[in-house]
Amino acid sequence: MYLRIAKEELKKIVSRINRERLAGLIDHTELKPHVLTKKVYSLCDEAARYEFASICVNSARVKEAAEYIKAKDYDVLICSVVGFPLGQMKTEAKAFETREAVNDGAEEIDTVINVGKLRELSSAKGEEREKIRNYLLSDIASVVKSADGKIVKVILETGYLTDAEITEGCRISIEAGAHFVKTSTGFGPMGALPAHLKIMREAVGNKRGVKASGGVSNFLDALRCIYAAANSDELLNPVYFRIGTSSGINIVNTVAWAKYSDAWFVDEIPCRYCPANFISKLPEEIKEYYIGLCRNCNILSNAELEERRKYHEL
């Protein structure tokens, strides 16, 4: 469950990137409910200045962002979230919101999967399983159709899911025609964890995109996400990998320092990026799932595992 990444591996990634290449992977994001119009304009200005892949905003902000970008003659893509942040809206509502966002100027859509339905799929059998799976396929496909050829990314909210459910969510998303799968809304119990990103990349292969989003707040976080889901020259490309973050400026400004100083690269604290760290926020059955993985971790040394068990009173 826990993906341990050596600092030497992170250094290798830095040797292959520069500030511009990293900036081109970032969806510059502002999704908080209290945001003012002037913040949306500032987001556009920053995206143009730093050459980020896109800005990502709530659908009600798309039109004003599009008008501002046009007036400023910026070369900036607009990504709109849909069904955000819960994913529990009716399919027709997600399709309507998608059409409206595209009509207002959105060129990419990040939609939230119906997480509860995806979780129910695990225990369902026979006709019931087929019914739930078809619902999920139709739900995502309706957004893809309404996006009218625009890029669609499906947010799985991986923090509520088992490894198998993450894999199945990826498969359904791609089968429904989505172009990317994405970790988190940033409002769930976990963000973009390397272990989950690795599962997602394995599930979609090298011909679909993976987006790391939620809690990617610094340069090292970004490097760990790249290691897990885009650790090749082919995948280190905005067509196949994105990072959704409101900390993009801080992240790209760190690249220059990392080129000549090893101080940035430290051995991570064991288990820091393991989902078991977030069990207090999880539904009971998912909590038990991650506790079980923690008890039987095969990555830590015996001494580290013993300390971990004491810490969590496992």
Active site residues: 110, 182, 211
- Kindly give the pairing relationship between strand 151-155 and strand 180-182: parallel
What is the C-alpha separation between 110 and 178, in angstroms, rounded? 10
Q: Positive or negative CA dihedral for 165, 171, 177, 182?
A: positive
What is the C-alpha separation between 274 and 2, in angstroms, rounded? 5
Q: Positive or negative CA dihedral for 251, 257, 258, 263?
A: negative
Helix (H) or strand (E) holding 110: strand 108-112
What is the C-alpha separation between 270 and 198, in angstroms, rounded? 18
What is the C-alpha separation between 127 and 218, in angstroms, rounded? 46
